[in-house]
Structure 1
Amino acid sequence: MSPATLSLLLLLFALPPAAGAETMSRDLGEEVVRLPVTLPDGSRHALTVTVFHPDEAGPHPLALLSHGRATSAAARADPPRQRMETAARYLVRKGFIVLVPTRAGYGADAGGADPEDSGPCRRKDYPASLRAAVAQILAALDYGRRLPDVDGRALLIGQSVGGIATVAAAAENPPGVVTAINFAGGAGGDPDSHPGVPCSPAQLQQLYAEFGSRGRVPMLWVYTRNDRFFGQEYSQAWARVYRAAGAPLDYRLLPAFGDNGHLLFSQGADIWMPLLEDYLRGLGFARPGLAGRPSPSGYAALDDGERVPYLSRADRLGGYGRFLSSPLPRAFAISPSGRWGYAYGGDAIDRALDFCHNGNSSPCSLYAVDRDVVWPDGADGR
């Protein structure tokens, strides 16, 4: 069967989400599709793909996010479906349709075969595991590029194992991919048993050189100085051999982040979002994606918890009370369903909205940010 025929079949046989699927974020146009995919080893899987849509008419560029890999099977089962909502929310604001595949062996599929198992530390087979990941990334990408409101442009983004898989997928030079972005990409890391030193590092370095010899898609790599999975000497060496092999690369080694810089993508959006904003603007994606801070509304005094709409008295005292005692920056979001979310620290606005939307079919709005109530005066909140 030709690749074109296989791609068409993947599109035609996309399945709707199963009955009883969990609640999704309506404000992001979230939906779930199931794509049949055959991996290089001949095994067949139904790939779960979360799709987020901007609310305005297209056409839109496409972004595909690839998740990392937990060290245990139990951890790979949680969450049952990858959403990567904070990154997706940013990209939807920039006008992208966003795809988040949950690859075989993860989420609800974690109890079965694990096609990305690369073997024990001393006998790693990274190429086989990456072939499985790349096949799924490219299948989801092909599905997304055939959506009627996609303009033909696409970008790939991956973190950790999803990062090296993104590098491997970019080395296939898939049509329409404008750039690919690797956050802390690598494999075989374990911050507990061998912090900073991946298994079979020579094999990894050879792989990055091979990817660089084939890849012609411009890439951005983002690493930190205190990555406890892949120490900076490894990411620097990988960047050198990748670039020396002829591939275009913008490598960024950022300062230490928290106790483990490997977590920058999941916990440091306030750092990487502005970086990505500048990078994507240079490639023609000029629409802003950073969340704007609403202006104070004067609806109520910040510490007047009784005025917070929708919430029960217990949640006003508990949830909103915890928000008031949290450090800046901070944000609190509410929903007509009574659900709420708050966050403090980097990217508090997006994370508060994410927490509020989680398992909630009603829209969420910001009530307070930092020291200001931003809920609009006169809003229907009673």
Structure 2
Amino acid sequence: MTGARFVILLATFTCMAAAPAWSDELIETPVSLPVSIGGTTVRLEALVVKKSDAQGRLPIALITNGGAATATAGAGATTATYAHNARDMARRGWLAVVVIRRGFGNSEGPRPAPVACQATSFEAWASAAADDLQATLSAVSQRPDADASRMIVIGSETAGVAAVALSARNPRGLQGVVSISGGLQSESNCPMTDVLVDGYRTFGSTSRVPNLWIYSRSDKVFDPDLVNRLHTAFLDAGGDVKFVTFFHDGDVGTPVFSHATRAWYSQMDGFLRARNLPTWSIPDVKSVIDRLKIGDRIERENLQGSLLIYLSAPGEKAIAFSPTLQAAWIRPQNKVVAEPHLPVTYQTNSKSLDDARTGALAACQKAAQDCIIVMENFLWIGGER
């Protein structure tokens, strides 16, 4: 065994494909949400997700569609694309809402005007997108299960721009904005860089909402030079932003937001904890360790690091545990096996909870036959040991 003897096995991530079957601790409700924009009522395609045992008013996490800037190229946007993100937010304690902006998918309203490389064109697009988000938050706030004093907005690509634009309005109750690979391109392929930078400088001059921006250094669409200029312009103008970049394979940064990576979730969780907003906590990690009856200080520390990875990873996910392997593992003098196997394995980012269970058990059963599932997503189901 190596020095870090207890490292939870991370099964190979499985990309989302067909509509997943999720665990029954969630309630999902598709809605046609009536919102008022400029004195006109339109209905927007939306999906509301929350825990089935949730009580009282829940903070609102709004997720909106990214991709193409206009519906001409992006009319196929649907809430199903972002349902997995909503489930992950609901499990963290939020009233998660996916909304498709006007003119996209099944949402009513005019299509956004094509974006040209003039400041007025960008301003009009950003204003309309922010109108959609603000109107959605206003409508959702009227629900009896919604807490309008604690709201966040999450978006990637064009949706990230929309979220930052909304933060410039400082709507009451908006506690944070998360923008992943946020940016916008002109449909006429004219140079957009200076327009974007000037626009973000304007956003920063009024925004007082904490922002979290996450980018990939391998992104050739919103490359590091442009991203650094956006960051500097927003920050120098007075905006509040935590700026994170990391490496990612590929020519675009959009996979950072995909369901196949936990990187942005981990950053977001820290952002939420710093603002006392709902997500999993370090005491949650220690509770799992206690339930597994791990007493040795070093082994507890090793396990804590691995559980941080599991909890920040996307669902559906599950942990399997073997009492036999644990007995051999915590007692080096036990010669049941020449070198003790790890007693815990997990699988994350699966198509369904059944797949997560199967994957975690299969990895565990390579070394023992008494493997059981002890955790599903954030729920401990292993009983008291």
Q: Please report how far the alpha carbon of residue 158 of structure 1 lies from its aligned counterpart in structure 2 after TM superposition.
A: 1.1
> Which stretch has the larger CA shift, 259-268 or 85-94?
259-268
Match of 1:135, as an amino acid? D
What is aligned with 1:253?
Answer: 245
Cα deviations by residue, 1:150-183 (Å, 9 ceiling, x for unpaired):
2331111111100000000011101111111111
Unpaired runs of 5+ residues, structure 2, are 1-18, 281-310, 324-344, 366-370, 375-385
What is aligned with 1:307?
Answer: none
Q: Please report how far the alpha carbon of residue 259 of structure 1 lies from its aligned counterpart in structure 2 after TM superposition.
A: 4.0
Q: For residues 81 and 159 of structure 1, do their structure 2 counterparts lie closer, same or farther at Cα, with a shift above 3 Å needed?
A: same
Q: CA RMSD in A?
A: 3.3
Bigger Cα Rg: 2
What is aligned with 1:175?
Answer: 172
Q: Is the 8 A contact 1:225 1:255 kept in 2?
A: yes
Q: Is the 8 A contact 2:56 2:145 kept in 1?
A: yes
What is aligned with 2:141?
Answer: 145
What is aligned with 1:352?
Answer: 351
What is aligned with 1:100?
Answer: 98
* Counterpart Cα distance in 2 of 1:123 and 1:210: 11
Match of 1:294, as an amino acid? I
Cα deviations by residue, 1:110-140 (Å, 9 ceiling, x for unpaired):
9x8412x334568981111122211110111
Q: For residues 199 and 146 of structure 1, do their structure 2 counterparts lie closer, same or farther at Cα, with a shift above 3 Å needed?
A: farther
Match of 1:295 among 306, 310, 320: 320
State the identity %. 26
Q: Is the 8 A contact 1:81 1:108 kept in 2?
A: no
When the two structures are aligned, how many residues end up with a matched partner?
293
Whether 1:161 aligns to 2:158 is: yes
Higher RCO (Cα < 8 Å, 6 or more apart): 2
Unpaired runs of 5+ residues, structure 1, are 1-21, 299-329, 332-347, 357-363, 378-382
* Counterpart Cα distance in 2 of 1:268 and 1:78: 21
Q: Please report how far the alpha carbon of residue 286 of structure 1 lies from its aligned counterpart in structure 2 after TM superposition.
A: 5.3
Q: Is the 8 A contact 2:200 2:233 kept in 1?
A: yes
Whether 1:366 aligns to 2:366 is: no
Match of 2:236, as an amino acid? A
* Counterpart Cα distance in 1 of 2:61 and 2:105: 21
Q: Is the 8 A contact 2:69 2:114 kept in 1?
A: no
**SS of residue in 2 equivalent to 1:350:** coil
* Counterpart Cα distance in 2 of 1:43 and 1:282: 38
* Counterpart Cα distance in 2 of 1:38 and 1:208: 26
Superposed, 1:5-154 pairs within 5 Å as 27-40=25-38, 45-56=42-53, 57-70=55-68, 76-109=74-107, 113-115=110-112, 117-120=113-116, 125-151=121-147, 152-154=149-151
TM-score by length of 1: 0.67
* Counterpart Cα distance in 2 of 1:365 and 1:254: 27
Superposed, 1:325-336 pairs within 5 Å as none
Match of 1:178, as an amino acid? Q
**SS of residue in 2 equivalent to 1:64:** strand
What is aligned with 2:197?
Answer: 205
Q: Is the 8 A contact 2:72 2:111 kept in 1?
A: no
Whether 1:219 aligns to 2:211 is: yes
